[in-house]
Chain A
């Protein structure tokens, strides 16, 4: 039966090829869209997990992907530091982060404003590959902490001199490679010229770091706002219980989560987009399998006489359905192979065009593609197979 199915398909090479290509495009769309979503989520999560902390405090909004601005005030930070039980403060360290935006490496990047003194919490074991994780920004941060007041007039050269030491950036190796940056390069952000002073190994929470104090000065006139906090807990504290304490203390103003749950939060935030992408892929795949159904149906109509011959030789109804299923399966499995090949090709192209994007073609997704191919192939062959099985052999043999 397999040989007959193969021979039938080879007899209509172009049609078989087009059908397989149609399935391949659908499979590729599914794999790439899923791969882009899961790759980006996995990469962001992996980077956030690199921060030396157990709890994250986020703005009280559902979607953490589009977190922007700095809704937390200095009051919040003080509150977090002071929240204590009978053995002392819960937080060993409160690490504020102030988000900005910068276009580097051909795409928008989230700019991580972090205190230069706390940079080691973000670096962990990752090495500094060039320059240093901030140079003069340490002094600038110290001056701000000591209460230095900037000149009131931003147009005043003295204001620029005040800010100058804080205009530093640290980038990761991947961004350096993609953008071709070097230590000493200057980047314009929010009307100020920042200088790249360090390159660190990829995998740190942000691709671009700037001094927290500088961003605060530029964006919120030096107020001690923050976009989110990482909390490093006092040793021995249970993270989930501590998170509950923080949540109870902050009330509705904030969303307190375990850092280990950040991946789930990202997936939840991406759920609606993911649903849209899944639906789009599903529609594309349905159309592709309808294409197979149409191909198989056309083949049944065209091969009415051959079906009559097979019936005259004693092929059962089930045998004819099986023949249609085997043909459709061969097309759809070829389509899956084409789709997987195309997906790897498109991934290469996407990474070539936008090297900072990650398309994760996970084994599970590839397996899912095979399953979809098999199920879709079988389903799309059932009706044509049923039509073939129901043909009257004498009438089929008299068909022209």
Chain B
């Protein structure tokens, strides 16, 4: 596997099965993303973008594939424990619906990936909270924040562990244009600062401006 590649996917197929009905979603898809690259994936709803992201994020296994290389590691055939370990150490997620834990504070939400890795959290978390502009909200619960603030928390949580690959699934999908711009600036700023590889799904044309590459998907394949 080429170490320059953060993602090296070949011949990726995925089907959903509903009873006896098999619904193909991804059709022999190939994708190569270099380390440090910012890739945006666009496409209509139902074309398989989120499924692809879930597979890249090791949250689901493909129905079949020749290779699914993530962060220099071939993930096909990996045990559940090894996939979890890879997810914990190399990947970060930003979701459209933020997916913050409602029972704990902003600070604890952001620190969670470090706690799970049993890493020291204090200084790094404080810095990130300030960087994403939530200095006064650290001890609030997510439910006490605006949606824009919640997405900032989600981004801070995704990057706090300095993952090699950041996967973002429509991070501005629930935000107004003002918040979308702010989140975009935040993501691009973090990308520039840390050089993380980012693969982002979006419908937002505004986000494509800063991307290194834009891929279009339709019916389970990349077009262009």
A363 at interface (Cβ–Cβ under 8 A)? Answer: no
Please determine whether A3 and B59 come into contact, CB atoms closer than 8 angstroms. Answer: no
Give chain B residues whose Cβ lies under 8 Å from the Cβ of A394.
54, 59-60
Please determine whether B113 and A314 come into contact, CB atoms closer than 8 angstroms. Answer: yes
Please determine whether B103 and A397 come into contact, CB atoms closer than 8 angstroms. Answer: no
A273 at interface (Cβ–Cβ under 8 A)? Answer: no
Check A312/B103 contact, CB under 8 A, given A3-B108, A317-B80, A397-B95.
no
Give chain B residues whose Cβ lies under 8 Å from the Cβ of A316.
81, 84
B89 at interface (Cβ–Cβ under 8 A)? Answer: yes
Distance of A305 Cα from B97 Cα, bound (Å):
11
Q: Tell me how far the C-beta of B207 lies from the nearest C-beta in chain A, rounded to whole angstroms.
A: 22
Please determine whether A305 and B99 come into contact, CB atoms closer than 8 angstroms. Answer: yes
B93 at interface (Cβ–Cβ under 8 A)? Answer: yes
Interface of A: prevailing SS: helix
Interface membership of chain B positions 62-104, coded 1 if the CB is closer than 8 angstroms to chain A and 0 otherwise: 0000000000000000001100110111010101000111111
A238 at interface (Cβ–Cβ under 8 A)? Answer: no
Interface membership of chain A positions 376-400, coded 1 if the CB is closer than 8 angstroms to chain B and 0 otherwise: 0000000000000000111001000
Please determine whether A313 and B116 come into contact, CB atoms closer than 8 angstroms. Answer: yes
Please determine whether A11 and B102 come into contact, CB atoms closer than 8 angstroms. Answer: yes
From B54, B84, B104, A3 is in contact (CB under 8 Å) with: B104
Interface membership of chain A positions 152-182, coded 1 if the CB is closer than 8 angstroms to chain B and 0 otherwise: 0000000000000000000000000000000
Interface membership of chain B positions 113-142, coded 1 if the CB is closer than 8 angstroms to chain A and 0 otherwise: 101110000000000000000000000000
B220 at interface (Cβ–Cβ under 8 A)? Answer: no
Distance of A386 Cα from B69 Cα, bound (Å):
30
A232 at interface (Cβ–Cβ under 8 A)? Answer: no
Please determine whether B60 and A315 come into contact, CB atoms closer than 8 angstroms. Answer: no
Please determine whether B101 and A309 come into contact, CB atoms closer than 8 angstroms. Answer: yes
Please determine whether A312 and B59 come into contact, CB atoms closer than 8 angstroms. Answer: yes
A306 at interface (Cβ–Cβ under 8 A)? Answer: yes
Interface size on B, residues (CB 8 A): 27
Within 8 A of B (CB), among A313-366: 313-317, 319
Q: Tell me how far the C-beta of B73 lies from the nearest C-beta in chain A, rounded to whole angstroms.
A: 14
Please determine whether B113 and A313 come into contact, CB atoms closer than 8 angstroms. Answer: yes
Q: Could you count the A-B residue pairs with CB atoms below 8 Å apart for me: how many are there?
A: 68
A148 at interface (Cβ–Cβ under 8 A)? Answer: no
Q: Tell me how far the C-beta of B45 lies from the nearest C-beta in chain A, rounded to whole angstroms.
A: 14
Distance of A305 Cα from B95 Cα, bound (Å):
12
Check A397/B116 contact, CB under 8 A, given A3-B104, A316-B81.
no
Give chain B residues whose Cβ lies under 8 Å from the Cβ of A393.
59-60
Please determine whether A314 and B104 come into contact, CB atoms closer than 8 angstroms. Answer: no
Give chain B residues whose Cβ lies under 8 Å from the Cβ of A7.
101, 103-104, 108
A4 at interface (Cβ–Cβ under 8 A)? Answer: yes
Distance of A313 Cα from B58 Cα, bound (Å):
11
Give chain A residues whose Cβ lies under 8 Å from the Cβ of B43.
none
Give the nearest-CB partner of B98 in chain A.
A309
B48 at interface (Cβ–Cβ under 8 A)? Answer: no
Within 8 A of B (CB), among A282-316: 305-306, 308-316
Give chain B residues whose Cβ lies under 8 Å from the Cβ of A10.
103
Q: Tell me how far the C-beta of A58 lies from the nearest C-beta in chain B, rounded to whole angstroms.
A: 63
Check A397/B113 contact, CB under 8 A, given A312-B87, A314-B88, A392-B60.
no
Give chain B residues whose Cβ lies under 8 Å from the Cβ of A305.
99
A8 at interface (Cβ–Cβ under 8 A)? Answer: yes
Give chain A residues whose Cβ lies under 8 Å from the Cβ of B112.
4, 313
Please determine whether A315 and B116 come into contact, CB atoms closer than 8 angstroms. Answer: yes
Q: Tell me how far the C-beta of B168 lies from the nearest C-beta in chain A, rounded to whole angstroms.
A: 12
B171 at interface (Cβ–Cβ under 8 A)? Answer: no
Please determine whether A314 and B87 come into contact, CB atoms closer than 8 angstroms. Answer: yes
Q: Tell me how far the C-beta of A304 lies from the nearest C-beta in chain B, rounded to whole angstroms.
A: 12
Distance of A393 Cα from B95 Cα, bound (Å):
13
Please determine whether A313 and B88 come into contact, CB atoms closer than 8 angstroms. Answer: yes
Give chain B residues whose Cβ lies under 8 Å from the Cβ of A309.
99-101
In addition to A7-B101, A394-B59, 6 A-B residue pairs with Cβ atoms within 8 Å of each other are A4-B103, A7-B108, A306-B103, A314-B84, A314-B87, A394-B60
22 contacts between A and B (CB under 8 A): A4-B101, A7-B103, A11-B103, A305-B99, A306-B102, A309-B100, A309-B101, A310-B101, A310-B116, A311-B84, A312-B93, A312-B99, A313-B157, A314-B87, A314-B88, A314-B89, A314-B91, A314-B117, A316-B84, A392-B59, A392-B60, A397-B95
